[in-house]
Structure 1
């Protein structure tokens, strides 16, 4: 189970590092086209990058390893917000992506807290 958690955490870290970096690098016009304000888009980008680092580094370096499941829990909350946003906007084609990421982050949080 431990190896599976590491694989899931690494995949999540890669996804959120890339997603966060894109949000941080996007010009304001492109971010506005997604329906996010500049401040919200950049904040989400920062949270995603920090969570990606938090998933891997504390546990891998054995420095405050409790931060890794906390980062996963933060991603659960962030993805819950994304699911709600997409449902409210009636974006049914894309709501599955944050829902799957939410479940994977919950598995990592549960596995590392247990």
Structure 2
């Protein structure tokens, strides 16, 4: 179980780090012009940067506390935060009638809930 939790948390971290860095590094116009960033069209540049920051923090929170064996309770909390980000993203895509994107959000949400459950209840870190 521990290995599965590490793998899922690692995959989530890679996805959210990539997505967050992209939102932080590229201007809004370039993001909106891409096929994956079209849902950001209704948001201001500041909101997009805030979402990108939350995604980078989620990626760090999923891995660093456990890897450094410091404040490991942050891992399931980061997973819960990631789940909340995915709920917000799914609602945005639902509002924009983008069912394919909702499917991705639901998969990432399920992964985040698995990590949160696993690290809170099934296989918590022991110190």
Alpha-carbon distance between aligned partners in 1 of 2:97 and 2:77, rounded to the nearest angstrom: 30
Unaligned runs of 5+ in 1: none
Q: Does 1:88 align with 2:95?
A: yes
Report what 1:54 is aligned to: 61
Superposed CA deviations along residues 3-34 of structure 1, whole A, max 9, x for unmatched, are 00000000100010001001111113124543
Alpha-carbon displacement from aligned partner over 1:24-60 (angstroms, at most 9, x marks no partner):
1111312454313211111110000011000001011
| Alignment correspondent of 2:120 | 113
Paired residues of 1:31 and 1:41 also in contact (CA < 8 A): no
Matches within 5 A, 1:2-81: 2-33=2-33, 34=38, 35=41, 36-81=43-88
Task: Measure, in 1, the Cα distance between the counterparts of 2:118 and 2:70.
Answer: 18
CA contact (8 A) 1:9 1:56 kept: yes
Equivalent-residue separation in structure 2 for 1:54 and 1:86 (angstroms): 25
- Deviation >3 Å, runs of 4+: none
Superposed displacement of residue 109, structure 1:
0.4
Query: What is the total number of aligned residue pairs between the two structures?
Result: 114
CA contact (8 A) 1:76 1:102 kept: yes
Give the root-mean-square deviation of aligned CA atoms.
1.0
Structure number, greater radius of gyration: 2
